[in-house]
Amino acid sequence: MCGIIGYIGNKNARTILLDGLKRLEYRGYDSAGIALITENRLKVFKKAGKISNLESIVPQELSSSVGIGHTRWATHGKPDDVNAHRHTDCSGKLAVVHNGIIENYQELKKELEKKGHRFSSSTDTEVIAHLLEEEAKNKGFVKGFFSAVSKLKGSFAIVAISLENPDRLLCARKDSPLVIGIGEGESFVASDVPAFLQFTRKVVFLEDFQIAIVKKDSVEIYEFSGKRINFSPVVVQWNLAQAEKAGFKHFMLKEIYEQPRAVADTISANKELFLKNDVFDKNFNKIQIVACGTSYYAGLVGKFYFETFARIPTEVDYASEYRYRNPVVDKDTLV
């Protein structure tokens, strides 16, 4: 996981990006970075550790109204200054931030290196910047972005900026969250609403396989194939405290106290499913639980109960590994 933010408008992007990153710090905090377009130059800053480390190296007086930021939780490459995001291409004219994992980055990197691209980090993310540079050479930033995104495998939420078109943020989503905030003469992009909730409540949740062209006074959404999509923004009603920690000291504490409500909400929202589904009439001969982190441990407790009381063999797998397995699952397995 990691936190992404992008801003385009008339306000000071430095402050908006750094504040937004602080609100996203729960999503990742091993390093952070921002890239800003100012006086037709791309200025980049990145630093290992907390957002406050990054804040200390971004000059106060830096004036810019378009930029992107990232707070990282490393998957590829150790958490240090070099691997911190935003990553740039060879020319230093475009920058990207990314949440997720690019699964074919090694193949892409080899191809791009053969074409002369020089890599400076050991992240999977840097391949996006060079691929975009390569694709944009003949097609331009926007068409190049569509074509670069279609070559990526894995999970990603991406935001890119370029000196070629400093009036827009280009975004793409597949299996990692990305939400667009629509303000008055300004637009935001982030992994989660609290990053910009103090500026606007009007949001569009980007869906998988969608690309957005975000300008300060317009948003266009397309499928990866290039087909334009109609969309209606929604107005979120939560306040910042609800959207963040609801007054609790930690997210974990908040989520522990939310459990009774979360279970009740899930059941009431899915009553039909719970009552009508014939799932309870079936005789399953195996149960497969797929989960991550604390849910994985909860799954192990579930295995204990299912096997003790229901006498049904139960397996628990890490969700991140499960897709690479060839599990024995048939029509009588409950997953």
Binding site for ligand GLU (CB under 6 A): 1-2, 28, 72-77, 98-101, 123-125
* Sheet strands side by side (includes 154-162): 87-88, 94-102, 154-162, 169-174, 210-215, 218-223, 228-229
Asked if 190 and 198 touch (Cβ cutoff 8 Å), the reply is no
The gap from C-alpha 273 to its chain's centroid, in whole angstroms, comes to 30
CB neighbourhood size of 135 (10 A)? 20
Q: How far is the CB of 151 from ligand GLU (least distance, A)?
A: 17
Using the minimum distance from each CB to ligand GLU, give the nearer residue, 87 or 117: 87
Which one, 101 or 291, has the nearer CB to ligand GLU? 101
Long-range contacts of 181-186 (CB under 8 A, 24+ apart): 182/219, 182/233, 183/9, 185/9, 185/10, 185/216, 185/217, 186/7, 186/8, 186/9, 186/10, 186/11, 186/216
In the complex, the smallest distance separating the C-beta of residue 242 from ligand GLU, rounded to whole angstroms, is: 25
Compare residues 2 and 190 and give the one whose CB is closer to ligand GLU: 2
Smallest separation (angstroms) from ligand GLU to the CB of 321: 17
Which residue, 25 or 167, has its beta carbon nearer to ligand GLU? 25
Pick between residue 125 and residue 288 the one whose CB is nearest to ligand GLU.
125
Residue nearest to ligand GLU (CB): 2
Closest approach, Cβ 128 to ligand GLU, in A, equals 10
Q: Which is nearer to ligand GLU, 125 or 210 (CB)?
A: 125
**Complex with ligand GLU: residue 98 or 117, whichever CB lies closer:** 98
Give 113-127 as a DSSP string. HHTT----S--STHH
Greatest Cα-to-Cα distance within the chain, rounded to the nearest angstrom: 69
Angle at 172 between CA 167 and CA 174, to 5 degrees: 170
Amino acid identity at 118: R
Nearest approach, Cβ of 98 to ligand GLU (angstroms)? 5
Q: State in angstroms the smallest separation of the CB of 115 from ligand GLU.
A: 22
In the complex, minimum distance from the CB of residue 8 to ligand GLU, in angstroms, rounded to a whole number: 22
At position 208, the amino acid (one-letter code) is: D
Mind giving me the DSSP string for 174-223? EBS--EEEE-SS-EEEESSGGGTTTT--EEEEPPTTEEEEEETTEEEEEE
Q: By C-beta, is 102 or 219 nearer to ligand GLU? A: 102
Residue by residue, DSSP assigns 56-103 as: TTS-TT---SEEEEEEE--SSS-SSTTTSSPEE-SSS-EEEEEEEEET
CB 187 to ligand GLU: min, Å:
22
